[in-house]
Amino acid sequence: MAERTFVCRTEEIKVGMPRIAKIRQLSIGVFRIGDCFYALLNICPHRGAPLCEGTQCGTTAPVSRAEFIYHRENEIIRCAWHGWEFDIKSGEALAAPGVKARTFPVTVEDGAVYVTA
């Protein structure tokens, strides 16, 4: 049964510095993108690596010619081991259709961040 757990104050999570929290038995990374917060299970669906200890970054936009448009800055987590890219908001792997990191709902109340897991 999922329950809501206090993680930390909003100001404790900086862009690019996710909070890795132990919530019950789960290691969960809580990310800030602008003023919004998102949570991902800290286990990469590729090979089980600590996904959220990778780099929060942007990526190149899909294009039809040799043009390099860096976009979605801070919306991507690049896994700590093998570098697979995931959309922090949806958990979807960018280059492996159908592969998805597990996401958890995040709520913010009075400057406090909660994860429901």
The residue ranges that bind other proteins (CB under 8 A) are: 47-50, 53-55, 78-83
26-33: strand order across its sheet: 19-23, 26-33, 36-41, 103-104
CB of 90 to other proteins, least distance (A): 21
CB of 52 to other proteins, least distance (A): 9
| Residue 31 burial (C-beta neighbours within 10 Å; 0-12, 13-18, 19+) | buried
Amino acid sitting at position 45 = P
Closer CB to other proteins, 54 or 91, in the complex: 54
The secondary structure element, H or E, covering residue 33 is strand 26-33
Closer CB to other proteins, 76 or 113, in the complex: 76
CB of 49 to other proteins, least distance (A): 8
Closer CB to other proteins, 29 or 114, in the complex: 29
